[in-house]
Amino acid sequence: MQTLQEAPSLAPARQAPPPRAVRVTTAAGLAVVRGQGVNLALWHRPAPSAARREAARLLARAPFCVTVEGRPGTLGAALSPEAPLLAADIARLAAAFAAMTGTITVHGRLEALTDEGCRLFHADAVGLRLLCTYAGAGTEWVPEHGIVRGGLRRGDNAAVVPDRRLARRLAPFTVGVFKGDAFPGNAGRGLVHRSSPGSVRAPRLLLCLDEPGRF
């Protein structure tokens, strides 16, 4: 005689917690962004007056864009030869970025923008990306609870961020390392952000560091 066996209970699949931002206090601490459930590492730091003056002098020459791919120690001087304090800072950030990505070289871009740049909220198709605005309005980003991911790629910021009061903005000299959709295991969970509105009267000086070979 056959006996009936109880069907195994199917427990509901556990959902991963929403990605979060983590604040750090050192350049080395930015590597926390590699951790599971983290899609933004933020390093708030003071802006030395001499470095601000260098940034202002560069910004007065806007618009321009300089791109270089090389070893971290050479990147600052190549991107900003006339601003030694900024060049040293870029080299320091590039070294931290290379360490967290495990690369020998880094792709760097320093640009003075007089337009809106990426005006739509989006997630980058990259692994990790470091951004630091030296002058002007910083990059806007949105915590996960303020995002409707189904609204992405529709060309409508209101569909992605219904409550604009939840958007945050990086202060000048604050460093942010963004985790994108291409980071292993992070598809569909990349940090949602956009460029702050810019214009000829309100330019901004932006540093962007990426892994080599992507651009």
Task: Give the total number of structural domains in the chain.
Answer: 1
Closest CA to 59 of 177, 188, 151, 172: 172
Domain contains 49: yes
Assess whether pLDDT exceeds 90 at residue 52: yes
Domain contains 3: no
Domain contains 15: no
User: Tokens 């900003």 label which residue?
Assistant: 80
Domain contains 128: yes
Domain contains 166: yes
Query: Does the predicted model carry a pTM greater than 0.85?
Result: yes
Domain span at 199: 20-210
Per residue in 145-166, pLDDT tens? 999 999 999 999 999 999 999 9
Domain contains 74: yes
Assess whether pLDDT exceeds 50 at residue 125: yes
Domain contains 10: no
Closest CA to 169 of 200, 145, 133: 133
- CATH code at 55? 2.60.120
Confidence of residue 200 (pLDDT cuts 50, 70, 90): low
Question: In the predicted model, what is the mean pLDDT of residues 35-63?
Answer: 96
116: phi then psi, degrees, rounded to nearest 5? -80, -15
Assess whether pLDDT exceeds 80 at residue 9: no
Handedness of CA 181, 185, 187, 190 (dihedral sign): negative
